[in-house]
Amino acid sequence: MERSVKAPSPAGFATAVGVLVLLIAIWGGAGGLLRAPIDFTAFRCAGQIVAQGRDPYRVEPLRKCENDALAHVGRALPPHLVVPAPLPPYALLPLGAFGPLTPPLPSAIWAICLFIAFVVTCRLVTGLTRGPPALVVAALLGADLLASLLIGQAMPLEIAFLAFAGYALHRGEHVAAAIGAALSMFEPQLGVPAIVALALWDRRARWPLAAALAAIFAVSLCPAGLGLDLEYVGQVLPAQARAEGLDSAVQFSLSAQLAAVGWQPATALWLGSASYVALVALGILVGRTLARRYEEPALAVFAPVAFALMGGVYAHIHQIGAALLLGLLLVGRVTRWRALLLCGVLLVATPWQTIAELTIFHPVPQARLLVVEHLMDQVDDDDALAAGVWGVWVAQGAHNSHSPEMTLSEKLPTWIGLLLIAFVSLGAAFGNEGEVVGRPRLAATSD
């Protein structure tokens, strides 16, 4: 007698795959996952500092905390270097909970948190798509989990918040959608498009959204006060944009590419900012149209987030995965250019730059490092913004040993994927895809 075999749930499949990735990363030595990944070390230290009511954006005490954490695992930063933590105060404050723990325990807990966020995202997105669950898991595994896990970035949490907002909107749960969108302000450049889109197109979510944002602002006032928020907006973000937003070696942003071909930094940053505003506005329009056409409100939130990643001032490889939320929802809905869309999803899903950095390693020449250390010494000041010292390190290429041709080849597949998702989205929104029969679900909640 034959027994029926129940197919594994998407969450179960994601769990199995994720555990395998964790084992490979831990025992294969990929980036020292359980020791002290540098980005998480910076976030953890900054969270500990802001929880004490001190400034987490200055060279000290951030640098001392980072070196102390790395010393526990036998590592150290180069002389004068400090890694900034350019997250807003309300995002850093919860990370202060890791402060009393001794490395490598905080990194292990953080890796588990990122993995749980990945599983949650897979589950939520699977509930929204019309494609196979395996496609969702495979796509998010690389761009969402792997690209962030190996350096300790927080993007799996951000993408989970966005997915939660879209899923809640899909179910007509406006308060939950507002909470998810507000939590996505963990990464403001992605949270802002989602919040603006939700506020414009769903009037029932406006008051809950305002309340959630007010609560987040209240958190940011404790315990460091309003001055730290003003410093973050007025000094830290511009300094980080100058320090890293113009770095074409690792950035996918328009500003970085303009700077690479000789544009003046101020002009490149201004045009990057202008492109961000224009693309978010276009994404909001596209998302609204797609939501009405396919009767899927989540598209109204996911589209502006994806379009925001196609220009702008600041876009890392680990942030690009947020564009998959739009691509995956459209794969099972579009009738024209579906093959192009699937190709775009697969290109974005593969973290080409991360793979290249792991497999093609060229040590930075010692002579260059000595020059960089001398230059950092000239700007080193305990009370200076950490982004200023970090900017010298980045500007001299001490963080990247790949040639310009190699770094360009690492980015091209991702750019092509983003363009394909944008092209199909525009075609689905304004082309001849056929009209949806019946009243669009979102129409009842918009003005």
Mapped onto helix, strand or coil, the DSSP state of residue 90 is helix
What is the DSSP secondary structure assignment for residue 57, as one 8-state letter?
T
> Which residue in this structure is represented by tokens 């091209």?
412
Helices and strands (DSSP H and E) totals, the chain: 23, 0
Beta bridge partners of 385: 58
Q: What is the pLDDT of residue 9?
A: 59
Query: What token pair was written down for 247?
Result: 């770095």
Question: Contact at 8 Å (CB) between 301 and 202?
Answer: no
Q: Where are the domains of the chain?
A: 12-34+104-360+402-445
Mapped onto helix, strand or coil, the DSSP state of residue 428 is helix
Interacting residues of 288 by C-beta distance below 8 A, sequence separation 6+: 197, 200, 201, 300, 442
Q: What is the pLDDT of residue 43?
A: 93
Which of these, 422, 144, 120, 177, lies nearest to 297 by C-alpha position? 177
**Is 413 buried (19+), middle (13-18) or exposed (0-12) by CB count in 10 A?**
middle
Q: Would you say the pTM of this structure is higher than 0.85?
A: yes
Q: What is the pLDDT of residue 438?
A: 36
> Which residue in this structure is represented by tokens 């005490």?
61
> Which residue in this structure is represented by tokens 């990735």?
21
Q: How far apart are CA 90 and CA 154, in angstroms?
A: 14
Q: How far apart are CA 269 and CA 116, in angstroms?
A: 36
Tens place of pLDDT per residue across the chain (447 aa): 444 444 455 555 555 665 555 555 554 444 445 567 888 999 999 999 999 889 999 998 999 999 988 888 778 888 888 899 999 999 999 998 988 888 878 888 888 899 899 999 999 999 998 778 888 988 998 898 888 888 889 999 999 999 999 999 999 999 999 999 999 999 999 999 999 999 999 999 999 999 999 999 998 888 778 889 899 999 999 998 888 888 878 889 999 899 888 899 999 999 999 999 999 999 999 999 999 999 999 999 999 999 999 988 888 888 999 999 999 999 989 988 899 999 999 999 998 888 877 766 666 666 677 777 778 878 778 888 988 888 888 877 766 766 777 778 888 999 999 999 999 999 999 887 544 433 344 443 444
Torsional sign, CA 324, 94, 244, 195: positive
Query: What token pair was written down for 10?
Result: 């998407």
Question: Contact at 8 Å (CB) between 198 and 165?
Answer: yes
